[in-house]
Structure 1
Amino acid sequence: MKIDFVLMLNNIFKCDKMHNIILWLIFLRAFASHANAKTILPQGHLKPKVIDDSNEDLNPTNVTHHYPLLPSSTTPAINRFGFCEEEQYFYEFITDNNQTQMLWVTWNLTKVGENAVLPNMCSAQTGLPLRRRCYLSATLHQAVWEAQTNNTVMIQCHNSMFCEAEEFRHHFIHGEGLEQHVNSWKRTKIYQKSTLQDMCLRPNGLPLTRRCLYDKKSHRAQWEPLPASYVNYKCLRTTEQQIISNELDSLLGNVTSRHRINDPKLRLQSSRNLIKILESPSKRRLPADIHLTNEILRSLIAETPDIELSSDVLQITHNLMTSDPTVLRMSAELNATNSLLDTFESYMDSVGDKFVSEAHCRNPAIVYATHNTTTSTDNTLSPPPTTLPAVEVLNSHLHNGIYAHISGNISVFFVNPLCANISGIAIYPSKVSASHSKELNYDSFNDFHYRFIFMNETVNGLLNDPDLELASFVPLSMWQHLLQHFSLLQRSPVIVFKVYAHDGLFVESNTMRVRKPFSKILSISIPGYEDALPESLPFLLRQHGTSFESNPNSGCGYWNYSTWTSGGVQTTSESPGVHRQPLVLCYTSHLTQFSYLIGGSFKQNDLTDEILITSVHMEALDIISLVGCALSLMGLMGIWITACLFKSWRAQASNKILLNMCVALTLQMVLFLFVNTDDISETLVDEHDYTKCVFLGALLQYSLLVLFTWMLLIAFLQFQRYVTVIGIQRPKHYIAKSAVLAWGLPLIPTLLVALIDPKSYVPSTYQLVTDTGICYPSGSGLHFGVILPVSLIVTANLAIFVYVFFSISRSLSMATQRSEKKLVLKQIRLSILLFFLLGLSWIFGIFAFMKMGLVFSYLFCLTATMQGFVLFVYFVILDENSRRCWQQVLCPNRAKKAQKKATELQSMTTASTSNGMDLSHTEQSHTGKVGNT
């Protein structure tokens, strides 16, 4: 079949009227060409190449529309049990310039259990390479191909499979500062999520990701559009918490280098480094770490599953199972737990026949080298030792044909039934009856006992076992069918049992679960057998709580890599001759992970807004602010209680001004702590209720500006009191006039921002994600509506404070030496009061806003939040009038005695003064007389 003939057919094929005729012509021409010794021959592995009489080569990537199967006459007779023979198909292929060609494709000779892949040829529908699996049919007793559809259109893979690296600009947060960074999205396969070349962590501990999509129209891979929240995104680099994400990301880059993947020693070294990182003390594990660890693990075992890595793989998986359940659940957003589970299961299945091969049966003394393990030979029921190895390898004392790896959360048992007729395992609790003490093995890591089940044991015998918790085995009748299957494949049969201590890796994304495992999880696999089981496989689980008859969701179930389900599993509580057993007998027609499930309604917390990491110093600043605000609120409550109880106290002019200031301060604190919070703001944004958000933000802005206006008026009054003392007279109703000014003037900037730029009150997506977003002005609204008026008032107050301070200091310098110490203390107290009363602590806030140093952030949080508490101390606790009022309420008897004593002292003072006046008058009279005289 020549290329020019194919192109001619393609041009004719475009005519709709002759569509059916052309199809038959193509079909007949194919037979004619095939009869003339023009055939598709394999080049390399599965790489099709067209050879004809003129030696014209056709692009090996040009392949496609799936037409009737044509048997190959050139394929020699091959062992029909171990390999799928060659098959040829007619495909329609779309070139890069959108032209159509009809080509032959050959599926080459493929071993049973393997996938045949057409290199450089992808499906136009999915963008992925075409794969066909070769498997051994249990009914036909021969190797057969997976069924192939007849409408596959093919394209070249180089444009469809991968999204190429793309530049991405963002910021890194360093303390209170930002650093612009040029990053890039990693080259990624379609339908997968990519991370950035330089790790970019979100506050929830997950990396920033972007999905690679496939466009069916253009037949190309393309990045999904960047969401609006990614514009000027701020990533966390230096965090308050000690994390291992950056170390794992660096290790992943080293592992994926080609020379390291191909070198067994370097792979082993990398696995040891990974374990060392995961076991770093005092470091927080993040959801990103689960994803990165799985990627490293997959890279280490992708090429060849070395048995030398088996202990390390088990130890790594064990370490991840010890992670916080919240971290594991959040990592499911990247499908990290399912991917890790699949990686672990696939690896253990692939190395099973190497541990318990036929050679192992003939020579049970064979011990394979593993790392960081110990080999146990003790078969007694001893308690766990004080210091345990990371992974324990059991080989020498077990039955012939059994090899085991045991760690704290997972135990793996490899069983070759040909060696000792053992085909199952039974699990027992930590405490068992004395009758089992000699036949059971003890798992010191997981604190349970176990024994192995022989093929000729029965289900009824296991049901009568009083201590049994979990068991499963392959019956003799089933094993005979399986043995015939493996004899055709000429490979050693192996059963792999994996016992999971808990469901840490079996993560459901739904917040409401209708069932959950309430026992250990048993995974059963028979590597190399992919057909349906010839008969149902029994397994037994102990019931917990209510029986499955009272709850339809209770009973035996399995994990389908999405949720726990019982489909395809038959649950029964009774067997012939056995009644009301605590054990549940179940049957399954497939192999996977099984457990006893309890039905009910189990709610999981929504972890969407969970914050696991914060910027350096952010947590400390938050704690300082919360403590200061709490003390300030307590102080304000004390002022309000004092004002409510004592009319004489609140009637003082100075206290009237104080109460107006406290109204604004209380309103600000209540809004900030209870009303305009990040959670409420996020709810308003999610519900698109922007009017309420603008109202709350404007109210918070207004309360702040009112507070500062009162501070400015107080500064002016203090200036009059301490500087311009002589001849000053307060205007009539000056407090009422001050109140009108203080409560009315801030309306101007507030209304201007609300009317001109209302969107500035809505928090950004990044602020909502980091739990720092409240309804408050931002951008120009913040600069001109808040920062500018506050800066002007603080500057004026600072000038007045300095002038008053030096005026008082100059007056004190004229004081007598005897009272100097007392006056100095009074000056210090007055300076502290004025510092807080005039809002001078906001100088630190302005400096922090201008990024002039982290120290100003700490100073601002320490001082600004304490304003209410300081006012309470000076105007209530240290004020003599307020103390006297509280003493009359709390200690009336003591107050009466103090008042009586003060009255007596005043009388004595008055009498002494009178006597002195009389004496002076007498002396003056006497002098007058003397003078007159």
Structure 2
Amino acid sequence: MNFDLCVKLFFFALALASPVYAKCPKERQLCSQSGEYKHCEEEDERYPAGTKKTNLIYCDSMFCEPEGFQHDYITRNHDQTPHQNKWKRAKIGERATLHDVCLLRNGMPVTRECKLKDYRAEWEATDQWDPVVCLRRFREQTISEDLNTLHDEVLEGRRRTNDTQGRREMTGLMRTIFRQRDRSLLPVDVHMTGQMFGALMQQDKDAAVIVDLVSVCKEIMSCDSQVLRLSAQLNATNTLLNQFENYMDALPQQLVPKEQCGKVVVKPMSDEAETATTGVETYNLSDIGIQALITGNISVFFANPECDFITGIAIFSASAENRRASPSGFWYRFLRFSEDLDKIKRESDLETAAFLPESLWKDVKGKGVTYLIFKIYAHDALFVETSLQRSRRPRSKVISISIPGLENNILPQPLPFLLRNENLRDPDANALTSGSGCGFWNYQTWSNEGVTTSNSSNLLKDLIIECHTDHLTQFAFLVGGSYRTNDLGEEVLITPINEKVLDIISIVGCSLSLLGILGIFLTAAIFKSWRSQASTKVLLHLCLAMCLQMVLFVFLNTDDVSEKLVTNGDTVRCVALGAALQYSILVLFSWMLIIAFLQFQRYVTVIGIERPPRYILKAAIVAWALPLVPTLLVALIDPDSYIPTKAQLSTDTGICYPSGYGLIFGVVLPVSMITVSNLVIFVYVFYSISHSLSQSIHKSEKKMVIKQIRLSIMLFFLLGLTWIFGIFAFMQAGVAFSYLFCITATMQGFVMFVYFVLLDSANRRLWVGLICPTKMKMDVQKRTAELQSMTTSSTNYTSRSH
């Protein structure tokens, strides 16, 4: 093999093993799209000036690639199966979301940061995280699912952003998603939008998409302030604001080129149909060097002073002769560099104004500047401070001034701008003159460094505030004072769609069951003839077990009680409560199995079978003692399985109850075996009754059908077949099984009361005789008279026959 080739291969392999993080932005951008290795030449400070050094860039080192991740969902059916998810691809410095969007109660996404370590991207560690629990479905109508799908398509390359058509389709779809009036925005939506804006920033800037971008920002500025404050915890508002500003600043050459100066514009006014679709008014005035995009929340003006010496904009709250009207709710006029600042300041209904005087324009023009961009924010929704205590707050519109090409955004001389003091319209009781004045947003807080205020000593009483700045960014009039913001850490913006409904169903069902069980015990206590029957004794044991389970579940072993026990460190009591609930459920199912066996003997086995002596006592010993075995095994082998996790307690889904293998082998397995056995018995009993009905010709068919249906319903509830729904819900077969389980399982006691007391003719007569003895006596006399009449008629008929 050629020696030179071997050397090249060796150094190439060495480079692959230890990739260099080179400073070649253009090449790195190409790499991030192609995923190939690129070479670039750069000047290295370690070498003499002008010396070039070739570095090998490892493209994927700029990104954290998708990685698997498991988490749980908030459920009410003790779902223990982790959901397999994966982190989305992210570049260094970004916080990635999950492929299947994972939301918390406050609408925040679960995120993971992509960090720089050893010159390459690496995911932050998750070893110290608490178990992640997300909402599967929630009641509120949001755009999160649609937006997440679009985000996935962009990241995975299924939706193109590297050509004009693909970008326009993507931004058009994003704009359509945000303009769904029947859906609300969540913090996750703001976060994902900022990331999609960032994806657009990596491509060629396209003037055709700016209407969609302005429309999206307009909708975000209209959402609830709590949503934006929460999203700011992920730096989402700053990311979105920065990406939007940078994208707008890259487009004036396409929108107001010098070649269009003086040329007649065929359609200078905004199209009403397009405005209705996008919510953005667009004005093409490129003949005088202006392009405008206007909405009620945010407006952008691109200016080329070379066309008509326009170097500024003034916004007003009312019409006047020399002002242009905007359907969005304000009026405006363009300012030339020869304008007088004092005259502008005295104009009526002025909201904000900014322009470059002639001397300043000549200075910046001499530095190679051609274009100006003015952005007017109607309020400070996107300028969110995360600190709870603030010493000032904006009380004016926010005006952003950009001059593309100006080095470091530093002005050679101060630039004047005017702001209306909105504190006069709506006085703030906390406002103080001290600390008030003009300021700028530094993407952390409001500051006044490099910005001066040229007004009287009592700024709170001045209508128009005059400001000057020596640098460019976003500006506002700030009112001093002490402003405390409520902590939104525990804020709940979305709630699981099934959680509260299932809770209500469970509580109502258990309450009815407890009333039904009370009715059964009351009937047995009053009427000795009924409680002395063997079938009644079995029923009373079953009701006792059911009552124990419901009292534990509804009153003693609740979310609040469990949280208090875990917080206070009383784990022994928590284990005891969990074991008691487990035991009560197993006892209940043991009696269900015994009843199923007795029903099988009654309806299927050959008539004449003899019961063993004291079979009720023996059955009671088995039913109450056998469940102790799995309960004690779980409590002794794995007591920690009864303790709810922090994630469960934080989402109000944790009670003292077995989990993991303790749940599977200590509850699910025995319950499943008994349920399957009862199902088989139910089918046999139902078949036996149906077969007997088809062969019977002496009894009324209607009465037999009613009896069969009543018996089937009774067996369905009594034998615990409703827990089949619970098994399917546990296996995540669908939320419908959770509803069916909660409705049927919690109503067992009430159904038994209806069947054994209300619908049973003998018990009904006992109650009627107790409550209305007179009516009962009359009924007995009436029945006796009817019987005697039938006997007399039969005798007379027999005599006549002879």
Could you say whether these structures have the same fold, taking a TM-score greater than 0.5 normalized by the shorter chain as the test?
A: yes
| 256 and 905 in structure 1: CA distance in 2 versus 1, 3 angstrom threshold | closer
Q: Distance in 1 between matches of 2:564 and 2:468?
A: 48
Distance of 1:341 and 1:669 partners within structure 2 = 54
Q: CA deviation at 1:785?
A: 0.6
Q: Is the 8 A contact 1:245 1:286 kept in 2?
A: no
Equivalents in 1 of 2:615, 2:695: separation in Å? 36
Selected match of 1:541 from 388, 399, 421: 421
Residues 347, 585 of structure 1: alpha-carbon distance in 2 compared, 3 angstrom cutoff: same
CA contact (8 A) 1:624 1:862 kept: no
Secondary structure at 2:410's aligned position in 1?
Answer: coil
Counterpart CA distance in 1 for 2:521 and 2:463 is 69
Alignment of 1:249-398 (within 5 A): 249-254=152-157, 261=162, 263-264=163-164, 267-268=167-168, 270-272=170-172, 274-275=174-175, 290-302=190-202, 304-321=204-221, 331-332=231-232, 334-352=234-252, 355=255, 363=262, 365=264, 375-376=268-269, 387=276, 390-396=279-285
* C-alpha distance in structure 1 between counterparts of 2:49 and 2:116, whole Å: 24
Please state whether the residue corresponding to 1:485 is helix, strand or coil. Answer: helix
| Aligned-residue offset at 1:841 | 2.2
* Matched AA of 1:346: N
Task: Indicate conservation of the 8 Å contact 2:90/2:96, yes or no.
Answer: yes
Compared CA separation, residues 648 and 908, structure 1 to 2 (3 A):
farther
Task: Work out which of the residue numbers 476, 496, 499 in structure 1 matches 2:376.
Answer: 499
Aligned match of 1:444 in 327, 332, 340? 327
Check 1:354–1:159 CA distance in 2 against 1; reply closer, same or farther (3 A cut).
closer
1:763-784, Cα deviation, whole Å (9 max, x unpaired) = 5688779876654323321222
Counterpart of 1:531 in structure 2 is 410
**How high is the sequence identity, in percent, across the aligned residues?**
37
Determine helix, strand or coil for the equivalent of 1:202.
Answer: coil
Which of residues 398, 407, 419 is equivalent to 2:295?
407
AA paired with 2:368? Q
1:636 aligns with 2:513: yes
Question: Distance in 2 between the 1:341 and 1:588 partners?
Answer: 21
| Residue number among 751, 759, 762 corresponding to 1:870 in the alignment | 751
- The CA deviation at 1:345 is 0.9
Which of 431, 434, 442 aligns to 1:560? It is 442
SS at match of 2:583: helix
- Aligned mate of 1:841, from 722, 727, 748: 722
Partner of 2:639: 758
Contact 2:452 2:469 in 1 (8 A): yes
Pick the aligned partner of 1:603 from 466, 486, 499: 486
Question: Hey, what's the Cα distance between the residues in 2 that align with 1:782 and 1:671?
Answer: 17
- 2:314 aligned counterpart, secondary structure: strand
1:786 Cα offset (Å)? 0.6
Offset from partner CA, 1:17-74 (integer Å, 9 cap, x none): xxxxxxxxxxxxxxxxxxxxxxxxx999999xxxxxxxxxxx977955xxxxxxxxxx
- When residues 664 and 902 of structure 1 are mapped into structure 2, their CA distance, relative to the original with a 3 A threshold, is same
1:713-732 superposed matches below 5 A: 713-715=594-596, 718=599
8 Å contact from structure 2 (residues 270, 282) kept in 1:
no
TM-score norm. by structure 2 comes to 0.72
Q: Is the 8 A contact 1:212 1:223 kept in 2?
A: yes
Q: Is the 8 A contact 1:425 1:472 kept in 2?
A: yes
Does the CA-based 8 Å contact 2:108-2:186 persist in structure 1?
A: yes
**Amino acid across the alignment from 1:635:** L
Match for 1:225 among 125, 131, 137?
125
Partner residue, 1:488: 366
| CA displacement at 1:349 relative to structure 2 | 2.5
Whole-Å separation in 2 of the counterparts to 1:386 and 1:535: 33
> Is contact 1:307-1:351 (8 Å) kept?
yes
The CA deviation string for residues 860-915 of structure 1, in whole angstroms up to 9 with x for no partner, is 455434434433543455355776799899xx8xx577446425425636876998
Contact 1:243 1:283 in 2 (8 A): no
Distance in 2 (alpha carbons) for counterparts of 1:855 and 1:293: 34
Q: Is the 8 A contact 2:228 2:381 kept in 1?
A: yes
- Range with bigger deviation, 410-419 or 237-246: 237-246
Q: Which whole-Å CA distance do the structure 1 matches of 2:585 and 2:277 have between them?
A: 61
Code of the residue aligned with 2:115 in structure 1: it is L
Paired letter, 1:393: T
Q: How many corresponding residue pairs? A: 742
Contact 1:515–1:599 under 8 Å retained in 2: yes
Report the residue type matching 1:363 in the other structure. Answer: G
User: Which residue number corresponds to residue 247 of structure 1?
Assistant: 150
Q: Which has the larger radius of gyration?
A: 1
Can you give the 5+ residue segments of structure 2 that lack an aligned partner in the other structure? Answer: 1-22, 29-39
1:70 corresponds in structure 2 to: none
Contact 2:302 2:371 in 1 (8 A): no
* Mapping of residues 808-847 of structure 1, within 5 Å: 808=689, 817-846=698-727
Between stretches 338-347 and 496-505, larger displacement belongs to 496-505
Secondary structure at 1:376 match in 2: coil
Q: TM-score, normalised by structure 1?
A: 0.63
CA distance in 1, matches of 2:232, 2:561: 27
Q: Relative to structure 1, is the Cα distance of residues 873 and 203 closer, same or farther in structure 2, using a 3 angstrom cutoff?
A: farther
Structure 1 position 393, deviation (Å): 1.8
Q: Counterparts of 2:302 and 2:296 in 1: how far apart (Å)?
A: 18
Q: CA RMSD in A?
A: 5.7
Is 1:786 aligned to 2:685, yes or no? no
- CA 1:185 to 1:883, structure 2 compared with 1: closer, same or farther past 3 Å? same
Determine the C-alpha separation between the residues in 1 that align with 2:508 and 2:64: 55
1:13-32 equivalence runs, <5 A: none
Q: Tell me the distance in 1 between the aligned counterparts of 2:623 and 2:124.
A: 53
Q: Match of 1:249, as an amino acid?
A: D
For the 8 Å contact 1:483–1:493, the answer to whether it is kept is no
Query: 1:825 offset after TM fit, Å?
Result: 1.0
Gaps of 5+ in 1: 1-41, 48-58, 65-90, 92-102, 109-117, 122-155, 368-373, 928-933
* In structure 1, C-alpha distance between the alignment counterparts of 2:270 and 2:227, rounded to whole Å: 37
How far off its partner does 1:306 sit?
Answer: 3.9
Task: Say which structure, 1 or 2, has more relative contact order (CA 8 Å, 6+ apart).
Answer: 2
- Hey, what's the Cα distance between the residues in 1 that align with 2:684 and 2:164? 78
CA distance in 2, matches of 1:558, 1:492: 24
- Structure 1 residue 842: Cα displacement: 2.2
Query: Which one of the candidate residues 211, 220, 225 is aligned to 2:113?
Result: 211
Give the partner amino acid of 1:703: S
- Per-residue CA distance 1:550-575 (angstroms, 9 max, x = gap): 69898876543235567777789957
Distance in 2 between the 1:840 and 1:271 partners?
52
C-alpha contact 2:264 2:287 (8 A) present in aligned 1: no
Query: Is residue 471 from structure 1 mapped to residue 352 from structure 2 by the alignment?
Result: yes
Residues 521-560 of structure 1: CA deviation (Å, up to 9, x unaligned): 4334444262266377542231224255469898876543
CA offsets 1:360-412 (integer angstroms, 9 cap, x no match) = 6x627468xxxxxx74279xxxx99994654322244x995543112353211
Map of 1:726-745 to 2, 5 A cutoff? 742-745=623-626
Offset at 1:701?
Answer: 1.9
Task: Evaluate the alpha carbon distance shift between residue 712 and residue 253 of structure 1 in structure 2; reply closer, same or farther with a 3 A threshold.
Answer: closer
SS at match of 2:291: strand
For the structure 1 residues 733 and 439, does the alpha-carbon distance in structure 2 shift closer, same or farther, using more than 3 Å as the test?
farther
